[in-house]
Amino acid sequence: MVKILEVKNLNVYYKAKSKSIFARPERKQVLFDVSFDVNEGEIFGIVGESGCGKSTLSKTILGMNPLYDGSIVHNSVKPQMIFQDPYSSLNPAWTIGRILSEPLLLSGMKDKAEVKAAVYDMLGRVGLDESYYGRYPSQLSGGQRQRVSIATALIARPKLVIADEPLSALDVTIQAQIMELLMELKKDLGLTYIFISHDIDVVYQLCDRIMVMKDGRVVEIGETIELFENPENAYTRQLIDA
């Protein structure tokens, strides 16, 4: 199996607010010795209570958090991310077209016609027609916005996508549609997902392997079925039973 992401002995810190402007800023450790691999083509679930370090981990993998030691190796294009809240994660002053064009422009694509064609193509893939190009996020429903978020993440053609609770802000009926869309895109574009959630049922349905986290540490990693039937750790059992 080809590994698309290898994380070894990762420790992540945050700058703690120092008490005075003269004091040296202190560091607060939030992730402790995290190691795991993600195989190409799988759906790798990360579960844990809120505050356990799931989101910090995904931000660090994306390079948005500079304070860490250990190694993160991804063997593909820069991974992208789908965020939880589709209402606030899109720039309200930008049209959908501009939001979707940005990753392409940042990756160095210059030809305007080419960018536009790619944006239309991506809109089609997430089930939105071309009329959405000139609209603003405020004119869209939650489900449509999450489709835009997914399109934004996928437009630069990453191989690895981190989805941070992509369903939890949506209605149940729309959750099913978005889940279906994510599976379809995975097949069409050959994607690998890291799926972050606190919802154990969603993770059970979707993921091939699961990593359980607690207080910034890895509790257990295993195949989904094995983990559910035979949890080694007391915390994992507690999480499944809840």
Residues that bind another protein (CB under 8 A): 21, 62, 64, 78, 80-81, 83, 85, 88-94, 102-103, 106-107, 136, 138-139, 149, 152, 156
Question: 222 is written with which tokens?
Answer: 């295993």
Beta carbon of residue 132, minimum distance to another protein (angstroms, whole number)? 14
Which residues, 6+ apart, have CB-to-CB distance to 22 below 8 Å?
Answer: none
Beta carbon of residue 160, minimum distance to another protein (angstroms, whole number)? 13
CB nearer to another protein: give 29 or 138: 138
CB nearer to another protein: give 81 or 227: 81
CB nearer to another protein: give 17 or 187: 17
Beta carbon of residue 30, minimum distance to another protein (angstroms, whole number)? 17
Supply angle C-alpha 73, 75, 10, rounded to 5.
15
Rounded-to-integer distance, Cα 217 and Cα 232, Å:
15
CB atoms within 10 A of CB 12: 23
CB nearer to another protein: give 104 or 212: 104
Phi and psi torsions of 222, nearest 5°: -170, 170
Beta carbon of residue 102, minimum distance to another protein (angstroms, whole number)? 6
Beta carbon of residue 157, minimum distance to another protein (angstroms, whole number)? 13
Beta carbon of residue 218, minimum distance to another protein (angstroms, whole number)? 23
Beta carbon of residue 84, minimum distance to another protein (angstroms, whole number)? 8
Q: Distance between the two ends of the chain, CA-based, in angstroms?
A: 33
Which residues, 6+ apart, have CB-to-CB distance to 110 below 8 Å?
Answer: none
Give me the residue label for tokens 């209402």.
87
Instruction: Please name the amino acid found at residue 30.
Output: V
- Please report which residue ranges of the chain form alpha helices under DSSP H: 54-61, 96-106, 112-125, 142-154, 172-189, 200-206, 224-229, 234-241
CB nearer to another protein: give 61 or 182: 61
CB nearer to another protein: give 68 or 200: 68
3-state secondary structure of 211: strand
CB nearer to another protein: give 29 or 139: 139
CB atoms within 10 A of CB 118: 19
